[in-house]
Every structure is written in structure tokens, then in C-alpha cells.
Chains A and B, each alone.
Chain A
Amino acid sequence: MTTVRKLRMRQAIAAAMADEMAADPTVVLLGEDVGAAGGVFKTSEGLLETFGPMRVRDTPISEMGFMGAAVGAAAAGLRPIAEIMFAEFMGVALDQLVTEAAKLRYLSRGEYGVPLVVRMSAGPGLGFGAQHSQTLEHWFAATAGLKVVSPSGANAAYGLLRAAIRDNDPVVFIEPRVLYGEREEVHAGDDAIAALGKARVIKPGADVTVVALGQTVLTAMAASSGTDWSAEIIDLQTLQPWDRETVLDSARRTGRLVTIEANPMAGGWGADLAATAAAELFGRLRAPVLRVTCPDLPVPFASALESRYVPSPDYLRHMITAIVADNRLPRAWWEEEASA
């Protein structure tokens, strides 16, 4: 049965975990301050009280240690959800995810699966500075054996997180930190469990396909209202494996493909889409693929700087308007300013 409630994304995340923990006694949560404190971003409020300290476990500040423990527990019968407070903290635990978790099924001929979800808060926009603001999807998306998912709001977070917990392979679940407090109607219940690997067309359009992920979905929506071009907006939702069919079908129809990314240009997820579109739609597009990204820099702190670093709706509108006007690639703002 589906219920509809208005929830903040952090509440939807807690609800998804609570529903899965209620349905399956092997689902457990571990991480720093996930229990007594309910998560530093309040994404696990109430879970300790409901499910007890054996299933909702506060850990020492030991990402490598508890990530390894999550991998071992997953291989031995639990379905752990490991919370990494800030995505950067994966840096000290990366071995356990990309070198152990992603390869145990392969190296055991399928005898040891790793049904693990690694949740992490990520992304710029809140003034957390250079070491607490990156998105880092590309660290994971290039590793065979992992799936990578990022929700664009409360409703998507609920359905995707439940699907991730049910998946029998390791899933990296990247939660845009700027969205934790955003409220929207959330469809909850078993029927609301989403499918991984599926993008969602959230607004049909004719002139340009705009592919967004996580926090940039809101940017794309805001940028494309009241314009004299119409954008088909796709929420990619799953980055690995990404939904080639939905993206390429849309771009084939509109003839233009734009990605909007909250990460630097170098190695960003849009590069993979652009390369695929170049190969699959060669000669079919009216314009070059446009990637709207952050500059290749660490995330700056000051609001005046960070608000320029992250692509704004105005900037995205400006860029799309330019490419729709003459089918030529507009230069990024920092390139414009460097040549001015």
C-alpha cells in the first residue's frame, strides 16, 4: 500500500531505512553518530529507538575500520548500510569499497556477494569548504562491481534507497547535502520501490535534452521555466549503470544534449554521456554536446565564490539559450572571463 506524505529528504531517507529494517531483520546501519544522535544530518532519527543498538551501531571515527566491517558483514549474511558523513571521508576507506567490496563476488565465483549500501552526503553549496563539498561520483563510477545512485529529492531518495538496500551488490548512494532539508510529497510503501539503472524524464521538451543528477535536477528545472525553448529534463538517478536508452532516445528527438553537473569538468560524469552520444548519435545532433560544470578547482569557501563555482539556474539558462540560438558551443564563464 502506498502512502503519500510530505517529507524532507532526510526524513525520507530515514523512512526508507526504517521500512527496509522492518521488512528484513538482516538490514543494519552503522556509521559515526548514526544511533544516539540520529545522524549528524538527522537521516537516521528514531532508528536506534526502534531497532536497537545491535542493528543501529555507532562506530568510532574509523571509516576504514567500519567500512571493512560492513563489507565483511555483508559477505557473511547481513545487509549493512554504512553511512559516511561527508563523501571525502571515503578517501580513508576507499580500499574497502573499490578493492574489496567490488571484487569479492568476482573473486569467489559468486560465492560471496556483498549486499552493501554506502550512503554519503556530498556536494557543494553550503559553505563546508574544500574538504567537505565535493561530489566524487567519478571515484566510484569507474569501478566495475559497484553501482552508483544519487537522488534528486525526498521522493526519489525513498524509492531509490529502498531499491539499493534490496540490491545484492554494493551500491554507493550519494546524497546531495543541500537537499536534506527540502520537502516534497513522498510516495512510501513497497510499490514505491524504484528500479536502479533507470533515468526519469521529469519534464518533456522538444528543443534540448538536459541531463541532471542529484542536486542539479533542481537547477535544471529552475533554469528551464519561462524560456522560449523547451527542455526535456532527465533525472539520471543511477550513474552506474546509467540509462543509455532514455538519454539517447531523448537526445535523438531533441537533437541537443546538455549535462548539468555539480562537479569539476575533468572526469565528470557528463564526459561519459558526451562520449556515448558522440559515438551513438554521430551526425544526428544539431549541436555539440554541452557540459555545464564547475571549474576544475577545489571548492572555494566564501559564499561569493561558491555561488559562482556551482552552476546556477541563471548560468545554465544562459548557456542553453546560447546553444539553442546558434548550435555552437558557448564557452564556460571562467573561459569567457579569462579571455576578456
Chain B
Amino acid sequence: MRELLEQETSSAAPQHPWLARRAVLSDPVERYRRMVEIRCTEDWVKQLFTDGLVAGSTHTCQGQEAVSVGVAAAARPADTVVCTYRGHGHALALGMAPEPLIAEILGRESGCVGGVGGSMHLSGRVIGLMPTMAIVGAGIPIAAGVAWAAQATKRDDVAIALFGDGAANIGAFHEGINLAAVWRLPVVFVCENNLYGEYSSISDTTGVTDIATRASSYGIPGEIVDGQDLDAVTSAMSAAIDRARSGEGPSLLEMKTYRYSGHSRSDTGAYRPAGELETWLARDPLQLYAARLAAMGAASPEELEAIRTETRQSVELAVAAAKSAKEPASDAMFRHVLEGVR
């Protein structure tokens, strides 16, 4: 029987490489590797921007890697993730390879959407990543609609909306979550509370400290999660996804986290109180998880160091490949505006 199964698996069509990258997240060590990859990639994106190779703006997520990887580890590829312009980490976690991601940020032909998107617009249906949305809060009702499609067609996939604490004050948050609550939709709302909406502290913009408390006003469960603790994120996400999948409706999870960089590359984060960054760096999600893996005996300190070295090298190669990739030809801009036009 086992042999038969293996035969069937091996005779199946070759798996999309992004799905293979997703599947390995069942291994805790690979989850660590992915967090390291996100950190390295984001550090490179920052550098590429400084070097003048990234046009417009870019929004990096150093410090928030555990949320990305925890969500991806808990979700199935058939589940749909609707996230924001701070989406590089989510895309990599879900399985996108670094090269098409970096190439997209550089506006190259080999970018994940051929260079028409840029840093804020990544997409990959094979891994359930809808185009990342650059309007604060816009993805929240859209995720509800994705969940309605699953509910109406009796599929068991769920939708996951990822958004920042800034989105908790925009109308789409209220309308989208209320709709999901009254229709009992299979969706998980995940707020990455990194304490700042653009340049403003949450205490200056928001009447509550904990976004999760807002769940009660929609009659759905709300939970505060330590967003720096990968296992905490994964288990909270798994529970909320199970709940959604079994027809019990939406939940709101608030991941307490922190972005080490400013809002975007023009923001140095000068408004942050002295010592705040250091306090959060002391609970760095990569270091916390490395310590846990070592304590569990899942990986030795040497093995973890090797992972960091290998990942740095592989991301460097991806950056080099993306930098040498072709600029898109002008006909690329005419494609996919409408179906069947060009």
C-alpha cells in the first residue's frame, strides 16, 4: 500500500517549486530557515533601495517574520491569503521564491507579475496569494468575499486577511468583519499590530490598546497572540483556521509585533521613543526560535549557523539574478488588463 502511494506520488505532475517550498514548512527547522530568508531578503531590499535600484517606495517587515511564517505553516495552499503592501515576508513564507520577488521589486521581466506590480503588488495563485493590496484595509472585505465563495460552493478552503493596526481604524475593517460575522464566513482576520500606522503611534490614533478587543463588538472571538513567538502564531492560526473550516465563523487574531524599520524607506522611524527598538530587538523572533530549536535538540547551534550562512548566500544569488534580469518589454504593460485583450 505504502509503495503504491509512493508510486502515485512520484508519477504525479511535478510539483510547482513554490508549493514544494510551502510543504517544507511542516519541519520546524525549515520554518527557521524561512524566517532567516525573509530577514536576509528584506535587508537586501533595503540595500537595493538605498542603491537607487528600487523606484517609488518599499515597505519591509524585519521583526515581523514569525507572523508570516506562522500563518503560512498553519494554512493550506488552497487557502487564500489577502495581505498588504508590507507583503514580502508573507509571499516568501507562503512559498514564493526570493528571485521572482526581488525581480518584481526591481521591476524586471522575471518578477512574479512581470514587473507591472512592484514592491507593493506581489501575487501567486498557486500558493494562494492574491495580489497584495496597497490600500489600507481594502483586503478585509475582499477576504470576506473569498470566504463567501468557499461557503457558497461548499469548498473547505478558508480566507486569511492580514493587515496592520492602522487598518483597524478604516471603514473597511468594520464593514468587512461585520459582514463576515453575520454571514459566519470561513475567514481569519489577522492584525499585525506593529504599534505604528505610517508615522503615528497607535496610542495617538486608536482608542484601544488591543485591537483584539474589537472582536467583541462583532460577536466573534478575538485573541491576542505573541507575534514574536513563531509557535504561538502557528498554534493560534491553526485553531482559528480549524474553527473557520468547520463552519464556526470568523475570528480576529492580534499579533503583537514590531517593525524594526520605518513605515517605508523614506521613514527613519525617528518618532520612536528611545529604547523601544532595543526592547523589541531583545525579543527578536529569529533568535527566540533559534534558541527554542536548540533547546529542543532539533538543531545544534552549528547547524543553525550553517542555515544562516547558506540562506545569506542563496538570497545573494537571487539578488544577483534579479539584478541581471531583463527589463520588461513595453508590450508587458498591455497584458491582462481585460481578459482576451492582447
Contacts and interface: CB of A to CB of B under 8 A. Distances in A.
Contacts of A169: 338-339
A99 interface: yes
B117 A65 contact: no
A111 B179 contact: no
Contacts of A77: 149, 153, 155
A109 B145 contact: no
Interface string A262-280: 0000000000000000000
B152 to A, nearest CB: 5
Contact of B123 (A54, A100, A111): A111
Given A54-B152, A96-B141, A107-B116, A72 B146 contact: yes
B287 interface: no
A75 B138 CA distance: 14
A69 B123 contact: no
Interface in A291-326: none
A213 B141 CA distance: 33
Contacts of B175: 60, 62, 64-66, 68
Query: In the complex, which of the residues A68, A73, A74 has the most CB atoms of chain B within 10 Å of its own CB atom?
Result: A68
A96 B142 contact: yes
A108 B337 CA distance: 10
B131 A108 contact: yes
A144 B338 CA distance: 9
A110 B182 CA distance: 32
Interface in A78-101: 78, 80, 92, 95-96, 99-100
B90 to A, nearest CB: 15
A100 B183 CA distance: 22
A103 B125 CA distance: 15
A235 B135 CA distance: 37
B58 interface: no
21 contacts: A54-B152, A64-B175, A65-B144, A67-B141, A68-B144, A68-B175, A72-B142, A72-B143, A72-B144, A72-B145, A72-B149, A73-B145, A73-B146, A78-B148, A78-B149, A78-B152, A96-B138, A104-B130, A111-B123, A112-B131, A168-B340
Interface of B: 80, 82, 112-114, 116-117, 121, 123-125, 130-131, 133, 135, 138, 140-153, 155, 159, 171-172, 174-176, 178-179, 182-183, 335-340
B142 A107 contact: no
Nearest to A108: B123
A141 to B, nearest CB: 14
Query: In the complex, which of the residues B123, B141, B147, B183 has the most CB atoms of chain A within 10 Å of its own CB atom?
Result: B141
B339 A68 contact: no
B339 A105 contact: yes
A83 to B, nearest CB: 15
Contacts of A60: 175, 178-179, 182
Given A64-B141, A73-B152, 5 more contacts: A71-B142, A80-B145, A100-B142, A107-B121, A112-B130
A144 B337 contact: yes
Interface of A: 26, 28, 54-55, 57, 59-60, 62, 64-78, 80, 92, 95-96, 99-100, 103-113, 144-145, 147, 168-169
A92 B172 CA distance: 10
Given A62-B178, A78-B152, A69 B144 contact: yes
Nearest to A59: B179
A101 to B, nearest CB: 9
Contacts of A72: 82, 141-149, 159
Contacts of A65: 141, 144, 172, 174-176, 178-179
Contacts of B130: 75, 104, 108, 112
Contact of B141 (A69, A78, A113, A145): A69
Query: In the complex, which of the residues A54, A99, A106, A112 has the most CB atoms of chain B within 10 Å of its own CB atom?
Result: A106
A230 B76 CA distance: 66
Contacts of B123: 107-109, 111-112
Contacts of B152: 28, 54-55, 73, 78
Contacts of A59: 179
Contacts of A104: 130-131
Contacts of B80: 76
A105 B338 CA distance: 7
A92 B171 contact: yes
Given A72-B143, A72-B144, A96-B142, A108 B125 contact: yes
Nearest to B126: A111
A73 B159 CA distance: 11
A68 to B, nearest CB: 3
A206 to B, nearest CB: 35
A71 B147 CA distance: 11
Nearest to A68: B141
Nearest to A167: B339
Contacts of A109: 112-114, 123, 335-336
